[in-house]
A = this chain, B = another copy of it.
């Protein structure tokens, strides 16, 4: 059983297309085609449903999929472990972070780089669910996400800070009363993240506890989009306090505290615990444990 062939299989499953999968593997289309055929003959079962084009996996293919991922992840980790048994870490560290945690990723990434100069870091903004799925599929080495509201499964975590929500508006826009309660907030013209994102679900859940619901006029999937909307003056928004530092220099923006909602939401680093821990994951956890975040990030 060659790891190479299993990689073909995984690429094909990702892409749903022979030629594109071949390109992703840096081989020709017939090579990948033959590779899949070899794999299937070695296993004695068809893994791919075809009717003149790719048509999904057979039941056997589905059954095999998690093990295929496990296999290539083990192969990659084996190489990593050999390279970094002694001496510095090398290679690419794949980090996923929810948008709300993006301001903190800078601290984590620079601390990692400082500690392990040989490292390359790739950061992607993902939803908490994507992070969980990609960690399980070994497409990420570590994630930065909420720890408590919908706790990620099969993960080890290191909390970094507690996030609180802030109200943000334009100085010449909607007028915000000096003291507001949650009912006032629900009455404001809001733009918020859409409900696919955990930050929004947490906010909704906390307001539902108080019998309230937010009816945003606009929803978006990025804080940049929200700030762009707020800048127009007609809307205000709710953003994590970790973003407040980034807004510090802006003339047009004004942040206001929201009524207390109790504890903030803990945000932290998670890695997969479904296998012996790889050197990258170990390093990330170690750095996260020793990390001193700048003021503006409330300690947990």
> What residues make up the interface of A, taking CB atoms closer than 8 Å to B?
1-4, 6, 43-45, 47, 58-60, 62-64, 66-68, 70-71, 74-75, 77-79, 81-86, 274-276, 278-279
Contact call B274/A1, Cβ cutoff below 8 A:
no
* Alpha-carbon separation in the docked complex, A68 to B247 (Å): 49
Residue of B45, B71, B279 near A85 (CB, 8 A) is B45
Residue of B59, B64, B70, B82 near A60 (CB, 8 A) is B82
Contact call B47/A59, Cβ cutoff below 8 A:
no
Question: What are 21 A-B contacts defined by CB distance under 8 Å?
Answer: A1-B75, A2-B2, A6-B78, A43-B83, A44-B83, A45-B83, A59-B85, A60-B82, A60-B85, A62-B85, A63-B82, A63-B84, A64-B78, A67-B78, A68-B78, A70-B74, A70-B276, A71-B71, A71-B74, A71-B75, A274-B274
Given A1-B75, A60-B85, A82-B60, A275-B43 contact (CB < 8 Å): no
Contact call B43/A63, Cβ cutoff below 8 A:
no
With both chains docked as a complex, state the minimum distance between the C-beta of A75 and any C-beta of chain B, in angstroms: 5
Which chain B positions have C-beta within 8 A of A59? 85-86
Most buried by B among A70, A74, A86: A74
Which chain B positions have C-beta within 8 A of A2? 1-3
* Alpha-carbon separation in the docked complex, A75 to B82 (Å): 20
Most buried by B among A43, A77, A82, A83: A82
Least CB separation from A3: chain B residue: B1
With both chains docked as a complex, state the minimum distance between the C-beta of A52 and any C-beta of chain B, in angstroms: 24
Main secondary structure of the interface of A (DSSP, over half): helix
With both chains docked as a complex, state the minimum distance between the C-beta of A80 and any C-beta of chain B, in angstroms: 8
Contact call A79/B274, Cβ cutoff below 8 A:
no
With both chains docked as a complex, state the minimum distance between the C-beta of A65 and any C-beta of chain B, in angstroms: 9
Additional A-B contact list (4), CB under 8 Å, known A1-B4, A70-B74? A60-B82, A64-B81, A67-B77, A275-B275
* Alpha-carbon separation in the docked complex, A2 to B1 (Å): 7
* Alpha-carbon separation in the docked complex, A82 to B47 (Å): 8
Which chain B positions have C-beta within 8 A of A60? 81-82, 85-86
Least CB separation from A59: chain B residue: B85
Contact call B82/A44, Cβ cutoff below 8 A:
yes
Which chain B positions have C-beta within 8 A of A62? 85
Which chain B positions have C-beta within 8 A of A71? 3, 71, 74-75, 78
* Alpha-carbon separation in the docked complex, A3 to B274 (Å): 20
Residue of B1, B79, B82, B279 near A78 (CB, 8 A) is B1
Least CB separation from A6: chain B residue: B78
With both chains docked as a complex, state the minimum distance between the C-beta of A89 and any C-beta of chain B, in angstroms: 12
Contact call B45/A82, Cβ cutoff below 8 A:
yes
